[in-house]
Amino acid sequence: MQKVTRSTIIDAPIDRVWAILRDFNSHDQWHDVVDASHIEGREQSDQVGCIRSFTLKDGNRIREQLLTLSDREYKSTYCIVEATVPLQRYVATVTLKPVTDGARTFWHWQSTFDTPPGMERELRDMVAQGVYEAGFENLRSHLRQGGDLRGGSQRSDGHAGMPTALPIPTRRVGLRRYGDASVLAGHDAQAPAPAAGEVRIRQRAIGVNFIDIYLRKGWILSMLPVSDAAPGVLGMEAAGTVIDVGSNARGLLPGDRVAYLGPTPGAYCTVRTVPADWVVRLPPAVEDETAAALLLKGLTADYLLRDLGAVGPGTRLLVHAAAGGVGLLLCSWARRIGAVVVGTVSSEAKARVAREHGCEHVIVTRDYQFAAAVQSACGGADVVVDGLGDAAREENLAALARRGHWISLGQASGMLAPLAPDALLGKSLTFSRPVVFDYIADYAQLTERVGRVWEALANGSIKAPLIERYPLEAAAQAHIRLESRQTIGPLILIA
């Protein structure tokens, strides 16, 4: 019987370390040797008996079963059920203890196992160094990225609280019928206690997006049903502080500063309970207001430039509403990548700001006439990012270069009428109708994209947003402003 024992001190509070380690399916987020992991058969990842099935980056496959889990003792035991590595009768125990100064954690990891004859040393070294010692380092860097190692802690003790099963009062802004901004009105409600996989958030800042206007007008009925008894609540994203969490909450803890976005509206409120899968912790450098202003729009810019638009050096990119929330991010990030950025705006004031954000060729037009100017500026666009919709339809087709890609992002001017495939034939064009939520549908993608947005903010690829702020109860005013075509940059509501 072989025995491997390793221990270390982690410079972070025990609750933070345990929140990660008690989740039997968290290791693909922090341990570098693990490629992908899932829990078999819909069980919770802290359910004793559950099996995690994972692949290692070297191609090996392992199934492990959780045998014990004690939140009181900060201890878990697990064993290998099946593996392509020759570890036999492998049983491991993870134990944490608080270091006496309170903010550090002692982590003990040990296992016993058998090996085929002659492989004892090789497998002992693999477990000791490749799994345990590397794991210690990997968890440290995971915590460091989240600002959790000592000196970088971002917890705000003022809001840390014990989980409570009680609902908490919340103030929401919603609508009982579709219509103009006057349909928006505040009402009192309750935010339910978080169930498994959920967190309850005291919101500070809420992002306003153009989709909020489509929903308010009743253009996407399936996303926002409304009635007198159950007003529809708008809002796809917000930032704030975690009040309490259910089990399996992605390592989130009360007091964490977080931001979220998700495909179900409901963010226009003071307290909201949401799936932990939507939520990311905020680095210390990113304020709540900045996060609410940037999260959805920044992720949109990321998938548009990096994936869907495949924008690179020399790509001729046409950005409509170039001084808008998404528009300014696209201009500066695309310019940094080396694209030729052409933008449309409706005023000279907006043109100035778009230029300052890297838009090389700015076309000022209020009535969606831009194709000739695009052709003369760059010979046609390889990619058009179009949030305008119907009024710009024919001009978009005319502005595109041969084999150009029309990305229909939104419909600020009105819903795009159906497009016949043959409209694309003349220049071998392609047409896409994407939604941001499909580009962050799994948690690893969400965190990867979010990381890139904060990095872009830190390295100047995108500028700090020019934020226009309104109190939550004045959401109607924010809508009126956004629809007026007067705004530059993003709008947020302060809860």
3-state secondary structure of 119: coil
Of residues 12, 143, 135, 22, the one with CA closest to residue 72: 22
∠35-41-45 over CA atoms, to 5°? 60
Question: Which residue in 74, 90, 113, 210 binds ligand NAP (CB under 6 A)?
Answer: 210
For the record, the structure tokens of 174 come out as: 């919603």
Q: Does the footprint of ligand NAP cover residue 309 (CB under 6 A)?
A: no
Question: Which residue in 235, 266, 275, 324 binds ligand NAP (CB under 6 A)?
Answer: 324
Minimum Å distance from CB 295 to ligand NAP?
11
Q: Pick out residues in 369-388 that bind ligand NAP (CB under 6 A).
A: 387-388
Question: Which residue in 194, 251, 254, 325 binds ligand NAP (CB under 6 A)?
Answer: 325
Question: Which residue in 45, 76, 209, 332 binds ligand NAP (CB under 6 A)?
Answer: 209
Q: Pick out residues in 385-444 that bind ligand NAP (CB under 6 A).
A: 387-388, 409-410, 412-413, 434-436
Minimum Å distance from CB 409 to ligand NAP?
4
Helical ranges in 230-385 per DSSP H: 288-302, 325-337, 348-356, 371-378
- Which residues, other chains included, contact 151 with Cβ-Cβ below 8 Å and sequence gap of 6+? 11
Residues 381 and 309: beta-carbon distance below 8 Å: no
User: Segment near ligand NAP (CB under 6 A), from 70-78, 161-169, 181-189, 293-301?
Assistant: 293-301
Question: Which residue in 326, 330, 453, 495 binds ligand NAP (CB under 6 A)?
Answer: 326
Q: At 387, which amino acid appears? A: G
Burial class (CB in 10 A: 0-12, 13-18, 19+), 97: middle
**Residue (87 or 491) nearer to ligand NAP, CB:** 491
**Residue (429 or 440) nearer to ligand NAP, CB:** 440
**Residue (259 or 436) nearer to ligand NAP, CB:** 436
Question: Which residue in 20, 181, 253, 321 binds ligand NAP (CB under 6 A)?
Answer: 321
For the record, the structure tokens of 114 come out as: 């058998």
Q: Pick out residues in 339-368 that bind ligand NAP (CB under 6 A).
A: 345-346, 350
3-state secondary structure of 83: strand
**What does the alpha-carbon distance between residue 215 and residue 235 come to, in Å, rounded to a whole number?**
9
3-state secondary structure of 348: helix
| Interior/surface letters 455-471, b for 16+ CB within 10 angstroms, e for the rest | ebbeeebbbebbbbbbe
**Residue (189 or 213) nearer to ligand NAP, CB:** 213
3-state secondary structure of 489: strand
**Residue (423 or 480) nearer to ligand NAP, CB:** 480
Minimum Å distance from CB 473 to ligand NAP?
21
Give the footprint of ligand NAP on this chain (CB under 6 A).
209-211, 296-297, 300, 321, 323-327, 345-346, 350, 387-388, 409-410, 412-413, 434-436, 482-483, 485, 487
